[in-house]
């Protein structure tokens, strides 16, 4: 027969262990590490480029309607400024579209460049983003 004190001690250790595991699980589910400002800005820039490409708004801007692209830029919030430059494959500038209410470049600048194929032609889309100086 096992001593009665051993069973109670084992039971208490098991309960404390389960409490520790439960607390650890809750902590890992709620902990949200803060990304450095440059990483966040780069992610926003890449996300905006992806949305503009997937929704066909870059093609609309190539055709001359910049409001579709500016609408996506305005959705990034007041703290992020953006500018999209579209060039043909030979380097000729087609359009430069900037988010309204933005000042000059801030301390942090992120750039994303990607090729775009539209109506059988290739173009280059360059998005620049920075934090507003407000």
Distances (CA, A) of 61 to 81, 91, 109: 18, 17, 23
Residue closest to 125 by CA, chosen among 28, 71, 46: 46
Q: In what order do the strands lie in the sheet with 121-131?
A: 93-98, 80-88, 121-131, 109-118
Residue closest to 108 by CA, chosen among 25, 37, 53, 24: 37
The pLDDT of residue 82: 92
Provide φ and ψ at 112, rounded to 5°.
Answer: -130, 130
The pLDDT of residue 7: 63
The pLDDT of residue 76: 86
Confidence of residue 132 (pLDDT cuts 50, 70, 90): confident
pLDDT digits (tens, 9 = 90+) for 49-100: 999 999 999 999 999 888 889 999 998 888 889 999 999 988 889 999 999 8
What number of CA atoms fall less than 13 Å from residue 81's CA on the CB side?
Answer: 16
The reported pTM is 0.69
Would you say residue 31 has pLDDT above 60?
no
The pLDDT of residue 32: 57
């Amino acid at each position: 027969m096992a001593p009665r004190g051993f069973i109670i001690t084992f039971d208490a250790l098991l309960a404390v262990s389960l409490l520790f595991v439960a607390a650890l699980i809750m902590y890992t589910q709620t902990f949200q590490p803060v990304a450095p400002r440059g990483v966040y800005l780069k992610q926003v820039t890449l996300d905006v480029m992806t949305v503009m490409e997937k929704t066909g708004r870059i093609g609309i801007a190539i055709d001359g309607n910049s409001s579709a692209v500016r609408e996506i830029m305005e959705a990034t919030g007041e703290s992020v400024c953006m500018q999209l430059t579209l060039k043909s494959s030979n380097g000729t500038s087609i359009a430069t579209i900037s988010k309204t209410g933005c000042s000059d470049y801030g301390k942090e600048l992120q750039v994303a460049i990607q090729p775009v194929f539209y109506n059988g032609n290739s173009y280059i889309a360059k998005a620049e983003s920075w934090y507003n100086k407000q």
